Structure 1
Amino acid sequence: MSTIKDVAALAGVSFTTVSHVLNNTRPVSAEARARVLAAVDEIGYLPSAVARSLRRSETKIVGVLVPNVRNPFFAELVVGVEEWCRQAGFSVFLCNSDNDPKHQQSYLRTLLEKRIDGLLLSSAGDTEALATTFRHASVPVVTVDRLVPGARADRVSVNNQLGAFEVVRHLLELGHRRIGCVSGPAEFEVTTERVTGWRNALQQRGIAPRPEWLAESDFSTAGGYEAVKALLRRQPELTAVFTCNDLMGMGALRAAAELGLTVPRQLSVVGFDAIELGSYVYPALTSVGCSIRELGREAGRALIERIENPQAPFKDLQLVPHVVLRESTAAPLSPEQ
């Protein structure tokens, strides 16, 4: 592997001159600069990013830690983050905790040891351990959709309670009165917010949300399938189901088919997040959300702004979701239901 001394020898200059050319730290004559750049091209020299970061106390790298890259929501989110960061001259180092808090903590330590300039986190839980880590972190942090109590960090999120309220209200306006809910893990703030939105929508119409209409799952397609299948077997009177993310909604479509229920004629199904994939299942899944890519861009922008202005007041940016009407909802067979 070539070194800066090899470049200097080929260009006929000192290695400090090569360093000044590559790092723009001191004026160098046009003729010497041209010789240095030609030598760099000829031998394929690559400056050490690690050494440069030590000199400048920056790496131009941000860490992004998500709980599940198999979930299309996070894939779309990361695309938006990367778009904004690339425009700002930053590279993205992506880590997947696979919904395991221990993996999450391990990756957090690794990212912070790599001298990243900032961290964007969508938490996989274990908020107490996260809060402890954040208290010792010296880099700017932005969290996405999930609050870390006590963290000195900006947050970018979707108004989960409003979104759930609006999509359940859509079902109510169609004439549904017995609407089940499949939540994510109870320890997640996003779960609490979305379940609250479901409850509030029913209560506003004078309907008491029964405990037996609520089932907990894990935000996965398989989890949604199992939860909805069990829920409909226990509560066959339900005419609609709100799942707290689109992956569980897709699992609900499969569960309904296996139970012999036609969607939406016999059962309406709605999700949350409005992921692109929801348009291509059959029937296409009615959902609620905002542009996930835009959410990622906003998160990336918040992180770069925090890196560039670390003393600015912390922000809590909340995007407003809207209902995306597709094919999985219709009026119940009988207004009496």
Structure 2
Amino acid sequence: MVKMSDVAKAANVSSATVSRVLAGSPHVSKETKERVLRVIEELNYKPNRLASNLRRMSAKTIMVVLPDITNPFFAKIVQGFEDVAHERGYYVLLGDTGNRLSLEREFIELSRERAVDGLILATARIPNKEIQEVSEHVPLVLACEYVDGLDIPTVSIDNVGAARAATEFLIESGHRRVAHISGPMAVVLSRDRVKGYRQAVQLHDLELDDRLIQEGDFTVQSGYHNMLKLLSLDNPPTAVFAANDEMAVGAIKAAKSLGIRVPEDLSVIGFDDIPLAMLVEPELTTVHQPQYDIGRHAMRMLLDIVEGRAPRRRQVVLSHRIVVRGSTMDVSGSEQTGNRVEGVTL
């Protein structure tokens, strides 16, 4: 079936322009309009008129696009989405991209062509220009991620500050060789956490050794393999900050496979505070994200926009905290403390 995105590609215009042509908008040049209409005829594109008509009413449905539904980090966020939606009489339609850019685009296209009232992106890997175009046609909120330079409603934490706090926690515990296993660098959150790690190392006048930064993909397996690389260095780290809990668990497994004790020989701190953090041995020290609150805030903000009310704040930054458990050890002689709250709720 020919989609609007196919017409846009063939006509060398955006999907938003195709939509304007179909709607009879006067804000399209004659030349562009003729080119789009010619492509529509050539491809035999059939606009979804039923969806178009339904969009003028309320479908009472919100589409939520996730990067990986198998990642336990998103479970509580989705619960927050659904609880608020159900409280206000809406349904939630989930789209799992499996970290594939092509599927992200397809779900976004569905939100434009089908009868949904709004869209929440918990992944934002498409170019900024495309996100901006979507926001002009569908009420849109970003959850967890954000886009620099665009005034799109967003709910997240301060990832730079949280990563800096996690790294400083290890440094203040006496560690001088602190490594970082990052997420994929195509993701803005991964870049932010690397930035926070680098800031902490520099603030404490430690050597910034790029060999101590290894790029993972948020899976246990990548944490395992990257930890093996770090431990094979001539001067291996005594502590590691992993950009999520699953990679931190993989790092602990790698250390144990080599007979390295956690936390006696290697301290490990994760990020997110998913249930797995309490199940691994030793229990994982981690940065807690308020996952459920992220979901509730994002859905509440989106439904306010859908129902014609301007959100009180377009950028909501929720607090994070470090939860100290058994996977880290203070080697400086001072005592570690748990539940250190970092950041503020705006």
Bin of the TM-score, shorter chain as denominator length: 0.7 to 0.9
Q: Sort the Cα spacing of 1:204 and 1:149 in 2 relative to 1 into closer, same or farther, 3 A.
A: closer
Partner of residue 41, structure 2: none
**Equivalent residue letter for 1:123:** T
Q: How far apart are residue 89 of structure 1 and its match?
A: 1.2
Deviations 1:294-317, CA, capped at 9 Å, x for gaps: 111111111112212355576111
Number of equivalences: 284
1:288 CA drift (Å)? 0.6
CA distance in 2, matches of 1:256, 1:111: 45
- Structure 1 segments unaligned to the other structure (5+ residues): 1-49
- Corresponding residue for 2:283? 284
**TM-aligned CA deviation for residue 260 of structure 1:** 1.4
Q: Distance in 2 between matches of 1:265 and 1:172?
A: 15
C-alpha distance after superposition, 1:262-281 (max 9, x if no partner)? 11011000111111221111
| Aligned counterparts of 1:150 and 1:174: Cα–Cα separation in 2 | 37
SS at match of 1:234: coil
Distance 1:192-1:119 versus aligned 2 partners, 3 A rule: same
Secondary structure of the residue aligned to 1:156 is strand
CA contact (8 A) 2:111 2:138 kept: no
Higher relative contact order (CA 8 A, sep 6+): 1
Write the mapping of 1:62-77 to structure 2, written as runs, cut at 5 A.
62-77=62-77
Q: What residue number does 1:189 align with?
A: 188
SS for the counterpart of 1:219 is coil
Report whether the alignment pairs 1:253 with 2:275.
no
Q: Which residue identity lines up with residue 282 of structure 1 in the other structure?
A: E
| Equivalent pair of 1:163/1:289 in contact (CA under 8 Å) | no
Larger Rg: 1
Taking only aligned residues, the RMSD between alpha carbons, in angstroms, comes to 2.3
SS in 2 for 1:271: strand
| Cα distance between partner residues in 2 of 1:124 and 1:55 | 24
| Secondary structure at 1:317 match in 2 | strand
In the alignment, the residues of structure 1 paired with residue 296 and residue 125 of structure 2 have an alpha-carbon distance, to the nearest angstrom, of 23
Change (3 A) 1:235 1:273: farther
Q: CA deviation at 1:103?
A: 0.8
The aligned counterpart of 1:94 is: 94
Determine if contact 1:155/1:317 at 8 Å carries over to the other structure. Answer: yes
Which residue of structure 1 lines up, in the alignment, with residue 241 of structure 2? 242
Q: How does 1:49-68 map to 2 (within 5 A)?
A: 54=54, 57-68=57-68
2:165 match: 166
Equivalent runs, 1:35-54 vs 2, <5 Å: 54=54
Q: TM-score, normalised by structure 1?
A: 0.78
Measured in 1, the distance between the counterparts of 2:58 and 2:208 equals 52
